[in-house]
Structure 1
Amino acid sequence: MTIVTPANDPGTAEPARRVVASEPAGPVLVPRVVTRLIPGTPAPLVVALGDSVTAGVGDSAGAVSGWSAHLAHRMRARHCNLGRNGARAADVRQQQLPVALTSGARLATVFIGGNDVLRGDFDPDSVCTDAAATLTALRQADIQPLLVLPPMVGPELPAPAAVRRVLGRRTEQLREALLVAVLLAEAAAGSVLTVDAQQVRAQAGASVFHIDRIHPSPTGHRLLAAHAARRLVRAGWVDSGRVVPVPPVPSLPLRVGWLVARGLPWLARRSRDLLPELASVVWREEIAPALASRR
């Protein structure tokens, strides 16, 4: 685990440097009600919980990679990314939350549920329970949670219409479950900030998606960070407006090379468990009811 700290010169947008988390950084001395940095005090820490989107899949490589890292960069904050590929809501609660609670962070970004939607045992109530417990625990530890509502499934997803319908229904259930989790956490512990990623897609269309049409593109990661920054400003934070430039779009040969070298192997690994489950879900929720209605 690493923590990324802002560049020394607050007036530049230079890439942040990395320090190992075990280095003594000292407590965050800035009071919770004060968001402007006081000279001589450590920058506030943003801790990121979630899955591959939080981990930065789809973004360009570098010291600032992933939407939460871009958000921390804008807020001149340190950043600790706990996101992991394949993480489900229960994994975030059981594995990432305990680390976040002892991190000394002032803000925790939470992006969860996408991998739950893809599983045959998807249960919105369980996701709601895990999300509510995560948000409540963060709030009780004086860490401000910022939850992202995932975007709806659109026509850009490279899948048959039946698959898109199933995933669309499930994503809608996921969004509803997360909203209930927010209400439960707020009733138990205090305010939870939310950002709707659907608004990001509505603003920029297909450009927010990576070549795999599942994860955000470099543009998508930055736009999500910008939306989150605006929400934080309304809550009293200060947005520096610093943005790491979007890298040039790779040439067609490079994109094809990425698909062959990384995309297809990833798809093959995930297909061993996801595709059979997804096929079972489509049969149960789409094909079987249609056949039964014809009898």
Structure 2
Amino acid sequence: MSTVQVAPNLTFAVIGDSAAFGTGDDAPDGTFRGWAFYLAKSFRDECNYVNFARPGAKSDEVSGVQLSSAKAYSPDICAVVAGGNDLLRNGFSPYKLHQNLLRTCKELMELGSEVIMVELHDPNQLLKIPNLIKRILRKRVEAVNAVYRKIADELEIVLIKTREIPDVHNLRNWHIDRMHPGERGHKILAREVAIQLQKRGWSLTIPETGEVFSKEKSLQMKWLIANGVPWFLKRSVDLLPVVLVLAVIEIFKILNEKLNYLKILR
């Protein structure tokens, strides 16, 4: 669990996955910062920052485990970031994701918490993968974002529409894995969240993005070998079967579309 200050006037809690944990923005001492860390430092009041997010967490962990930890602090503001790991797993269910996140947000709002959620970016803008896999990934990402928007409409939470951030998919904003924001990307997210909170009456300064110097390529490759490859292999075991099934379905859809087009031409 990460913290910034104690004896606060305001408590800011975070629950979710690696995007909330701060993956992609590692400090020299080996800890992770991330957009929530920068946001916590921008409040004008003293802020008690508690982060229960865990890399790899799915929405059921967020609603079933992390939520109770956050509620114990009666947070004034709570960020809920989950869905990215759900979509990468076999048995992905937008309905289940919606139920988990809706319950989480409702319980936090019953405490009086301001709830923040962040839409997924478009990974196809960053990843070099086969077009067929892109189609599958696009549909799942859109399904997750549709869940976020539905909850935002139902509960009027703060929803950051990541894809609408100018130049958001510029590679310099992203970690070498191209799945997580880098330091600059996290600072941009912190800025966007701060702007939205300010509109709702919260007292805070708008974080600066500043210039960020990239790590040497040799260090980036070391990270990729040590962390990226094991992550990919672990996810492939779970995701490969469903990718194959969905790929077959997509192929049939493409063939069907072409057949229908030929019928029209006749």
Q: TM-score, normalised by structure 2?
A: 0.86
Q: 2:149 aligns with which of 167, 179, 189?
A: 179
CA distance in 1, matches of 2:229, 2:63: 30
Aligned length: 255
Can you list the C-alpha shifts for 1:94-123, whole angstroms capped at 9, x where unaligned?
Answer: 111111111131100111111111123122
- Retained in 2: the 8 A contact 1:151–1:201? no
**Alpha-carbon distance in structure 2 between the residues aligned to 1:218 and 1:56:** 9
Structure 1 residues 43 and 275, CA gap change in structure 2 (3 angstroms)? farther
Using the TM superposition, give the Cα deviation of residue 162 of structure 1 relative to its aligned residue in structure 2, in angstroms.
0.9
* Residue in 1 that maps onto 2:3: 3
Per the alignment, residue 16 of structure 2 pairs with 50
Structure 2 Cα separation of the partners of residues 116 and 242 of structure 1: 30
Please identify, of 95-104 and 241-250, the stretch whose mean Cα deviation from structure 2 is larger. 241-250
> In structure 2, what residue type is equivalent to 1:231?
Q
| Post-superposition CA distance 1:135-162 (Å, at most 9, x none) | 1111001111011121233332132111
Alignment partner for residue 68 of structure 1, among 36, 44, 55? 36
In the alignment, residue 79 of structure 1 is paired with which amino acid?
Y
For 2:148 and 2:209, locate their aligned partners in 1 and report how far apart those are by CA, in whole Å: 30
Deviation at 1:56, TM superposition (A): 1.0
CA contact (8 A) 2:109 2:115 kept: yes
RMSD value over aligned CA atoms? 2.3
Partner of 1:205: 170
2:153 and 2:125 mapped to 1: Cα distance? 31
Matched, 1:168 2:138: yes
- Output aligned runs, 1:41-190, within 5 Å: 42-61=8-27, 65-76=33-44, 77-184=47-154, 186=155
SS in 2 for 1:47: strand
Q: 1:120 touches 1:280 (CA, 8 Å); kept in 2?
A: no
Amino acid at match of 1:49: I
Q: Deviations over 1:56-94 (max 9, x none)?
A: 111122566011111111225221111111211222111
Q: What is residue 224 of structure 2 aligned with on the other side?
A: 259
Unaligned runs of 5+ in 1: 6-24, 27-41
Distance 2:179 2:128 in 1: 9
Amino acid of the structure 2 residue aligned with 1:253: S
DSSP-derived class of the 1:142 partner: coil
AA partner of residue 172 (structure 2): S
Give the structure 1 partner of residue 263 of structure 2. Answer: none
Assess, with a 3 A threshold, how the Cα gap between structure 1 residues 182 and 140 changes in structure 2: closer, same or farther.
same
Secondary structure (helix, strand or coil) at the match of 2:123 reads coil
Q: Which amino acid aligns with 2:72?
A: T
Partner of 2:242: 277
**CA deviation map 1:29-62 (0-9, x unaligned):** xxxxxxxxxxxxx241111111111111111225
Measured after TM superposition, the shift of residue 244 of structure 1 is 8.1
Mapped partners of 2:194, 2:86: distance in 1 = 27
Code of the residue aligned with 1:183 in structure 2: it is D
Alpha carbons 1:212, 1:263 under 8 Å: kept = yes
Q: Is the 8 A contact 1:148 1:196 kept in 2?
A: yes
Compute the displacement of 1:292 (Å): 6.1
Q: 1:275 to 1:219 in 2, by over 3 A?
A: farther
CA distance in 2, matches of 1:154, 1:208: 15
1:17 paired residue number: none
Kept after mapping to 1: 8 A contact 2:194/2:204: yes
- Give the match for residue 227 of structure 1: 192
Contact map agreement 2:119 2:160 (CA 8 A) in 1: yes
Q: Which amino acid aligns with 2:175?
A: H
Change (3 A) 1:72 1:245: same
